[in-house]
Amino acid sequence: MHDEVYQFFNELTNVKRPATHYDEPARIWIIDNFLPANIFKEATNQISLITEWLTFENGYSNSKRKECRNLTEAPIVETIANCFNSSKTVNWLESITDSEGLIPDPHFLGGGLCTIASQSKLDLHTDFNWNNRLKLNRSVNLMLYLNEEWVEEWGGALEFWDDDKTECIQKVMPKPNRLIFWEYDTNLVHGFPNKLETPADVTRNNLIHFYYTSNSTWDEDPRRSQFINNG
């Protein structure tokens, strides 16, 4: 199945997919039924095999989540994650978002696989803007929802608010196999501030990627490789 994942992402730029596009409060794109059905099913099945999680919690607000950046226990999920960092996927994202010079993060700082359990939430927040390990500025956020099913009454819609946090402008449900990506804005307020009402054994799962751009300049004037004639 790994070959099927590679083939899908290798052909991504040639596949026209209907996408919902919002311009407010940020430029947001949504593509439903993103992965082929058999790949998606295997990815969701493998999440239960993962034992290595990092836990994050705000005790005062019931904002709790677990993240995994070492995906070796879920090899299909790992392959999908690696393909999201590939040159062809980056080129595809650039063509849709009109971005230039996007750079993926192979270390998944703040990203990777995220899971949130019933009765928890993700407080409204703005995202970090600087990847200190890569020394790069954040530019595009991307999420793929990896839930086998989702019922609207469970909540968990990703909400995008105005800068004053007085009004929710857009809500995006975490539907199975839904891909969402948006243009980063340091002031963009988002999250889901109400507790999940899922059954106890159902979590809200998504694979998260951030893409960056550089405003750095060279140390020396750029030049091509120079070969030495030993003859």
Which tens digits make up the pLDDT trace of 39-63? 999 999 999 999 999 998 876 677 8
With 0-12 CB in 10 A as exposed, 13-18 as middle and 19+ as buried, what is 117? middle
| Averaged pLDDT for residues 58-74 | 87
Walk across the sheet containing 168-172 and list its strands: 122-125, 189-192, 158-161, 168-172
Using a cut of 0.85, tell me whether the model's pTM lies above it: yes
Segments making up each domain of the chain, as ranges: 2-10+31-213
Q: What is the pLDDT of residue 57?
A: 83
pLDDT of residue 99: 94
pLDDT 10s digits, 105-137: 999 999 999 999 999 999 999 999 999 999 999
What superfamily would CATH give domain 2-10+31-213?
q2cbj1_9rhob like domain (2.60.120.620)
3-state secondary structure of 22: strand
Share of the chain above pLDDT 70, in %: 99
